[in-house]
Chains A and B, each alone.
Chain A
Amino acid sequence: MSTPTTLRVWESQAMVYRKIWRSHLLLAFGQPLLYLLAMGLGVGALIDDNTASVESLGGISYFEFLAPALLATTAMISAGQASLWEVLDGFLWSNRYRAMAATPLSPTQIATGLGLWHATRTAIGVTGVAVALALFADTRTWGVVAAVPVAVLCGLAFALPLSAWSATRYGGTSFPAIIRFGLLPMFLLGGAFFPIDQLPDWLEPVAQVTPLWHAIELCRGLVIESVDPGNVGVHLGVIAAYVLAGWLACRVTFTRRLMP
């Protein structure tokens, strides 16, 4: 599976990232900060005065409800961005992965190395969010540190299946739909901005099978230090299942694409 050569793929991606890290980090740090200020404090001020609302949030402030979820949503968005056009580029335009395939690297190693890179890139972005959370007293807990790897895993749960998909594409026509009808609804409705029991009955189970909701629940529990230990296994298990399935799919689609 992963010999040290796999890391060369990671190295190649890191070399490219070195040129854009500022804009990536600024986005990863700045965007959640904006949400925290606008939604967390602004909208929160309206909600927190309402007893019924506070009850439905589980007795915490809206800020405490929203802020930890941004770790998971940022991971999802950042990983999604890195897995669509950027991956297609490696097969279609820059042909980065084709160049790699002509070397001793195998398609599986290329896919695995890319997965490791996705994890790293997501970790960088999520750390930006963690720093933003640490700016506010309500969310300055050690749980933030524990939530970072959960968010990274969440990123992989999107990055690997989407990379597998991109490896089968000959153009990006499906990508805007994936974002508009996949990632964006999850971001808005997946439990970050309000509890999913507010969703229509038929939509709630849908939210519950997304890796995002499980990651949000876990991150929130960790940050506000009220994790239900019984649920940790389920949450991690669902997210890990997406990661594993995505990696297996990547192995297949990368091999098919690179060694026809």
Chain B
Amino acid sequence: MHGNWRWPASLPCRTVATVPPSIITARDLRKQFGDFVAVDGIDFEVEPGESFGFLGPNGAGKTSTMRMVGCVSPITSGQLRIFDLDAASDGAAIRARMGVVPQADQLDAELTVVENLVIYGRYFDIPRAECRRRAAELLEFVQLTERADERVDPLSGGMKRRLTIARSLMSEPDLLLLDEPTTGLDPQARHILWDRLYRLKQRGVTLVLTTHYMDEAEQLCDRLVVMDQGCIVAEGSPRGLIDQYATREVLELRFVTGDVGDHDAAPAVDIAGIGDRSETLPDRTLIYAHDGEAALAEVHRRGLDPVGSLVRRSSLEDVFLRLTGRTLVD
């Protein structure tokens, strides 16, 4: 935080009160399962009120990281402080102040919607009457009031997800961890969820989430890290990352098989020099350019005839492709 400057040993050591502590500080954080390294020495910080994301493909180590932050998985090595407490020794105190939305819903199918909330509040030792009050309020917030006394089973995926979010808020946490909050949901359900999360953020709840969806990261995160194979490969705001690792626009070209776009037929010969750079994927070729229309005009001028073309703004998907050479969701 202060470069290489160290507090001189001769001076009395006092806490510096001017810098508010981060909500989460991870230093060289590692997680190993046997010989397998799931998280390979990552550093990150999350500030109060911030909405922070882990973006990465399946297997990148996002859940492993979230579970360590959630104090339900001991760290293998490194340092992890949450609320200025040590994750290794103060797990219960940390968990008491944190809400968790796990990757897979963990709702009790034998209980009703409202019972699921009340009993969860009880785990935090909140009095029963208060649990019921909060449950009613939260059901309102996640728009499930009419379902309060129904069993959980028949709820749709989106409703279960919203209920899980409501449950995680029973303890009125300062920090909310969300592991792939909208994976598997239809577009409408995702937008309802994003809207609720956005409101939480406005209320000052610190959000930490993982996702492998670009649009989600762009919608929800102030700042994010891109994870791949247990490492952080980039960090920044969604816009900043796009500016740094991609161009303003992207031209997507589709060619018929056997033509330029074919994997084996080196397309670089023909499109070389158009835009800043290009990527050839199995089904399409991407040309990164400040002005996509100009790039398309150049493609046509060279006599190339793609069967399809599309100019779009670049996204985090392009950032990921640039950083790892792979697409994020296959």
Query: Given A99-B106, A260-B33, A260-B73, are A104 and B123 neighbors across the interface (CB < 8 Å)?
Result: yes
Judged by a CB distance under 8 angstroms, whether B272 is at the interface is: no
Judged by a CB distance under 8 angstroms, whether B70 is at the interface is: yes
Contacting chain A: which of B53-61, B108-116, B223-231, B286-294? Answer: B108-116
Q: Which of B70, B92, B93 has the most CB of A within 10 A?
A: B92
A residues near B123, Cβ cutoff 8 Å: 5, 8, 12, 99-100, 103-105
- Please tell me which one of the listed residues B107, B109, B120 contacts residue A103 in the complex, with CB atoms under 8 A apart: B120
B residues near A260, Cβ cutoff 8 Å: 33, 73
Query: Beta-carbon contacts of A88-112 to B below 8 Å, as 1s and 0s?
Result: 0000011110111111111000000
Query: Given A94-B110, A104-B92, are A258 and B119 neighbors across the interface (CB < 8 Å)?
Result: no
Query: Beta-carbon contacts of B65-88 to A below 8 Å, as 1s and 0s?
Result: 000001011100000000000000
Query: Given A104-B123, A104-B124, are A259 and B72 neighbors across the interface (CB < 8 Å)?
Result: yes
* Cβ contact within 8 Å between B110 and A106: no
* Cβ contact within 8 Å between B108 and A11: no
Q: What are 29 A-B contacts with C-beta separation under 8 Å?
A: A5-B123, A8-B122, A8-B123, A12-B108, A12-B123, A15-B111, A15-B115, A16-B108, A16-B110, A19-B110, A93-B109, A96-B108, A98-B102, A98-B106, A99-B108, A100-B123, A102-B70, A102-B72, A102-B95, A103-B95, A103-B96, A103-B120, A103-B171, A104-B95, A104-B123, A104-B124, A104-B125, A259-B72, A259-B74
Band of interface residues on B: 20 to 34
Chain A at the B interface: SS class: loop
- Please tell me which one of the listed residues B107, B108, B125 contacts residue A5 in the complex, with CB atoms under 8 A apart: B125
Judged by a CB distance under 8 angstroms, whether B100 is at the interface is: yes
B110 CB → nearest A CB, Å? 5
**Count of A-B contacts with CB under 8 A?**
70
* Cβ contact within 8 Å between B124 and A102: no
Query: Beta-carbon contacts of B111-136 to A below 8 Å, as 1s and 0s?
Result: 10001000110111100000000000
Query: Given A106-B92, A259-B72, A259-B73, are A99 and B120 neighbors across the interface (CB < 8 Å)?
Result: yes
Query: Given A94-B106, A98-B102, are A15 and B119 neighbors across the interface (CB < 8 Å)?
Result: yes
